[in-house]
Amino acid sequence: MLNWFRALLFAALFTPSVLLAQTSTLAATPPMGWNSWNLFAGRVTDKDVRAAADAMVSSGMKDAGYIYINIDDTWQGQRDAQGNIQANSKFPDMKALADYVHSKGLKIGIYSSPGPQTCAHYEGSYGHEEQDAKTYAAWGFDYLKYDLCSFRQIMNQQAPNDPAKATQMMKDAYVKMHKALLATGRPILYSLCQYGWDGVWEWGPSVGGNSWRTTGDINPTWDRMTLIGFSQAGLSKYAGPGHWNDPDMLEVGNGKLNMDENRLHMSLWAILAAPLLAGNDLSQMKPEISAILTNREVIAIDQDPLGKQGDRVSEVGPEEIWAKPLKGGDKAVALFNRDDTPLPMTLKLSDVGFASGAKATDIWAAKDLGRLQNTYTVTVPRHGVVLLRLSK
Ligand code: GLA
């Protein structure tokens, strides 16, 4: 009887369907956290990562839902004689660092490439996929960003002038690491980064991706942030619990983005059900930036359990209206003004499914607007947003 029970338990634990079920509980809502790249790029050290974990807690971001502390490129050193990847001198002890981040009640992420080299020319995982996955699991990592980088050269060498074969090679490379991660038995969120090539949103889930970058790199400028954010129109049908479109990490608090631009950035990413990975210096964060990143109502839109990405409803010159369905029939509606001057914008409630009116809250103004009928007109600041939550 006992043996029979053991056999059943063993089968239940180790059949592939259970392994897949384990991954589908990862990223049930879009991942939230911090990543080192946007601010520190190649300068990131163990100390910066610990400081980010400390500040994640002390700033209230952890309480607001931010969990992952992700190390991006440039942590890698050489491989040892057995081929095991070592961290470089900026990261003296990866296991101790992971333990430290976990001791704060947070999770920790790491970065690699399917190619021989990462984008910053550090050691990639090519030919060492299983070994690297085991190392990440042994160190205690919970998240892997897997960035195509030099694997493109392998594709060019082995499939010159054969785009279909090259695409298949890329998919195979992502599957290979997915299987290696599953085999570790540790739940490790799998974040694909190949800049949105070859319609990755159509096949990202089938290679095990919990998220996939949809574009090239963001930077902290109005032009780049909006070019990326507003280009996401039409992708909503590809996102859902366990698998998300990723328009890249947040630049809130970086560069010269002003407060209206930061609020627009945060609102647009929330409407897109995008991963919310802050990219600023959390330990030097101004209160007004922290207020944007931790706004509970905005985060609730991004993290809504229905798991539906929002999409564009209308675009008239610089005026864009986007809406995101929420659990229980509510909707988040954003009125975006991309112009260089303030503009009065009018929302027709019937355009967003509330022909017989809606109760409304202006989220950034934290103001109950009462019941709206037919239309709502409001002046939207230049490069700004009015974000509403509507309910029946
Ligand atoms: C690529 C990625 C970035 C970052 C860098 C690191 O450019 O798209 O997000 O990870 O590599 O080198």
Mean pLDDT throughout 340-359?
98
Q: 7-11, 149-153, 238-242, 322-326: which range is least confident on average?
A: 7-11
Cα–Cα distance measured from residue 174 to residue 205, given in angstroms and rounded to the nearest whole number: 11
Strands 331-337 and 68-70: unpaired
Mutate to test the pocket of ligand 1, among 217, 218, 248 (most ligand atoms within 8 A of CB): 217
301: pLDDT strictly greater than 80: yes
pLDDT at site 25 = 81
Task: Provide the mean pLDDT of the chain.
Answer: 95
The model's confidence at residue 297, banded by pLDDT at 50, 70 and 90, is very high
The pLDDT tens digits of the residues spanning 200-229 come to 999 999 999 999 999 999 999 999 999 999
Average pLDDT over residues 316-334: 98
Distance 310 CA to ligand 1 centre (A): 26
Position 12 scores a pLDDT of 44
Mean pLDDT in residue range 313-319 = 98
Residue having the nearest C-alpha atom to atom 5 of ligand 1: 119
Angle at 173 between CA 171 and CA 175, to 5 degrees: 70
Residue with the bigger pLDDT between 167 and 14: it is: 167
Short-list 233, 225, 227, 174, CA closest to 198: 174
User: Ligand 1: distance of its center to the CA of 97 in Å?
Assistant: 22
Q: Which helix (H) or strand (E) holds 21?
A: helix 16-24
Q: 3-state secondary structure string, 33-67?
A: EEECHHHHHHHCCHHHHHHHHHHHHHCCHHHHCCC
Task: Name the closest-CA residue to atom 11, ligand 1.
Answer: 119
Interatomic CA distance for residues 178 and 16, integer angstroms: 13
Burial class (CB in 10 A: 0-12, 13-18, 19+), 159: middle
Nearest C-alpha to atom 1 of ligand 1 is from which residue?
119
Ligand 1: distance of its center to the CA of 147 in Å? 7
The CA-based angle 71-268-370, given to 5 degrees, is 135
**Residues 138-175: tens digit of each pLDDT:** 999 999 999 999 999 999 999 999 999 999 999 999 99
> Does the structure show a pLDDT above 60 at 120?
yes
| Mean pLDDT value of segment 339-366 | 98
Residue whose pair of structure tokens reads 């619990």 in the numeric block: 241
| Cα–Cα distance measured from residue 314 to residue 375, given in angstroms and rounded to the nearest whole number | 15
Closest ligand 1 atom to Cα of 74: 12
Distance CA 309, CA 270 (A): 9
Inform me whether the pLDDT recorded for 4 exceeds 70: no
Q: Which of 383, 388, 275 minimizes the C-alpha distance to 339?
A: 383
> Which residues have CB under 6 Å of ligand 1?
37, 72-73, 118-120, 147, 193, 217
Ligand 1 center–CA 285 separation, angstroms: 23
**pLDDT score recorded for residue 20:** 46
For residues 333 and 297, the answer to whether their CB atoms sit within 8 Å is no
Beta bridge partners of 277: 33
Selected catalytic residue, list 54, 217, 311, 339: 217
Query: What is the best residue among 118, 119, 150, 197 to mutate for testing ligand 1's pocket, by most ligand atoms within 8 Å of CB?
Result: 119
| Partner residues linked to 346 by β-bridges | 377
Separation of CA 380 and ligand 1 centre (Å):
34
The sign of the dihedral angle between the CA atoms of 170, 171, 177, 180 is: negative
**pLDDT digits over 55-83, tens only?**
999 999 999 999 999 999 999 999 999 99
Kindly give the number of the ligand 1 atom that is closest to the alpha carbon of 72.
10
Q: Is 147 a catalytic residue?
A: yes
Active site residue 99: no
**Residue pLDDT, tens place only, 81-113:** 999 999 999 999 999 999 999 999 999 999 999
CA angle 67, 307, 137 (to 5 degrees): 40
Q: Kindly give the number of the ligand 1 atom that is closest to the alpha carbon of 193.
A: 8
- Give residues with Cβ within 8 angstroms of 336, minimum separation 6: 230, 264, 267, 268, 319, 320, 321, 322, 380, 384, 385
Q: How large is the average pLDDT for residues 374-388?
A: 98
Cβ(332)–Cβ(347) below 8 Å: no
Q: Read off the pLDDT of residues 16-29 as tens digits, 9 standing for 90 and up.
A: 443 444 445 899 99
44 C-alpha to ligand 1 centroid (Å): 13
Q: Which of 147, 246, 260, 281 is catalytic?
A: 147
